[in-house]
Amino acid sequence: MTRPRDPAWDSLWDSVEAAVPERGTGASGDRAAERAAQPAADHASSTPASAALGLKLIVRTDGAARGNPGPASSGAALIEAVGPASRRSDAPPIATISEYLGIQTNNVAEYTAVTRALALAHELGAREIEMLLDSKLIVEQLHGRWRVKDAKLIPLHAEARASLARFARWSATHVPRAQNKQADALCNEAIDRAQAGGERVVVVRPK
């Protein structure tokens, strides 16, 4: 699948792209459940010790497609992990992404949101990533427990795995959709903004 490109993302793609061998929106959730949610697995890499100076980010992403396929978007909220409160669904992010993707399927939009968020996290110097995602498909495929059968998702999955290898440690946990309202709102904002003639991509970075 040809990945949509946008000038606003050129610097991110340049910093994170790596060669990979081919391989065969809602109400507030239960805060007690959020605090109880723990990463399904931790993955450590051989990242140099100097990366230990980086920060840890909690990453919440979502993808939307009105029609599936239809007008689609990706959204992501990156929150600095500074304690239990940072895992609340309303924890304030330090960076966000809201991007219109054109006509895509929901799963393509979901995966694109993950790759965009990982690119931004790497740009910000994150050492460790804790992903809290409402897509069980992506969580299971990133952990290698489910196969990637959809040809449109294979390159996005490969890109996500290559990006994850750049962090010292990462985890991905499935959470209820109700706990992902920030990323969901960013998706809806992107579609509404683009259909009104606004910017295709809005990325907010720390000042």
At 22 the three-state DSSP class reads coil
Pairing, β 169-174 against β 95-104? unpaired
If one counts the domains in the chain, the total is 1
β-strand partners of 125: none
Would 197 be classed as within a structural domain? yes
The confidence score (pLDDT) of residue 90 equals 96
Query: How much is the average pLDDT of 48-61?
Result: 72
Instruction: Please give the residue that has the higher pLDDT: either 7 or 172.
Output: 172
**Residue range(s) defining the domain that contains residue 124:** 52-204
Q: For residue 126, what is the domain's CATH number?
A: 3.30.420.10
Q: If DSSP states are collapsed to H, E and C, what string results for 126-169?
A: EEEEEEEECCHHHHHHHCCCCCCCCCCCHHHHHHHHHHHCCCCE
For the ranges 4-13, 117-126, 197-206, the lowest mean pLDDT is seen at 4-13
| Per-chain mean pLDDT for the chain | 83
CA–CA separation, 8 and 142 (whole Å): 26
CA–CA separation, 32 and 88 (whole Å): 9
CA–CA separation, 34 and 85 (whole Å): 9
Q: Which amino acid is at 115?
A: T
Would 83 be classed as within a structural domain? yes
The confidence score (pLDDT) of residue 49 equals 37
Asked if the model's pLDDT at residue 160 lies above 90, the reply is yes
Give tens-digit pLDDT for 67-126: 999 999 999 999 999 999 999 999 999 999 999 999 999 999 999 999 999 999 999 999
Would 45 be classed as within a structural domain? no
Spacing of C-alpha 141 from chain mean position: 14
The confidence score (pLDDT) of residue 66 equals 97
Would 32 be classed as within a structural domain? no
Would 26 be classed as within a structural domain? no
Give tens-digit pLDDT for 12-53: 444 433 333 333 333 333 443 443 344 445 665 444 433 445
Q: Residue 125 carries which DSSP code?
A: T
